[in-house]
Amino acid sequence: MAPVSAPTPWREPTAALPLRWGDAATRWWSGVWLAGGGGLAIAGSNTYALWVLAIGVAAHLIGWCILPSAGWRRAVAVAPSLLAMFLLLSGPRFVIVLAIPYLCWLLVRHRPALAALTVVPVVVAALLVGDATADDPRRMLSALAVVVAVMVASAWLARLIAMRLARRR
């Protein structure tokens, strides 16, 4: 009787990619902080602080570019995510556009197509927060905080879906 081997533990698909520079963990953390912080800077800029907008755009673009992923996935994600960040300048009612960078995140993290269903809680939270905050720009930070928290929870759910689907194969 042949010995039964233990199942191999699941690994992030991006952790197995051959990288030309750096390690996956450092690039992941750096990319998340730069893309997220850059997006926050873009959303928080105004006509009196255009330098914040310029720094935010640069950080956002660099963040997406250094995330460990297949190159074409990063290239596809950059423009829609940057456009969504610019649309956030319209105020808290437009936090619904955060669904775009969230879907880009799933693409860059090599999540299966089924994981795209996890965008539903993000959209629902954004719609509820957008209606609750109306067009009051003073509520933008709290609106972003709520929707980003839902995005993080949804991203973990997408990771669990990827793990389950990988174990079935």
The band of 159, judged by pLDDT with boundaries at 50, 70 and 90, is: very high
Between the alpha carbon of residue 63 and those of residues 4, 37, 60, 75, 146, the distances in Å are 43, 9, 5, 12, 22
Q: Tell me if 36 sits within 8 A of 62, measured CB to CB.
A: no
State the DSSP code for 19: P
pLDDT higher for 109 or 47?
Answer: 109
The chain-wide mean pLDDT, for the chain, equals 88
pLDDT of residue 5: 60
Of the candidates 71, 153, 82, the one whose C-alpha atom is nearest the C-alpha of residue 108 is: 71
Q: Which of 18-22, 60-64, 80-84, 110-114 has the lowest mean pLDDT?
A: 18-22
Residue 99 CA to residue 81 CA, distance in Å, equals 9
pLDDT of residue 6: 57
pLDDT of residue 14: 77
pLDDT digits (tens, 9 = 90+) for 84-142: 999 988 888 889 999 999 999 999 999 999 999 999 999 999 999 988 887 777 888 88
pTM: 0.88
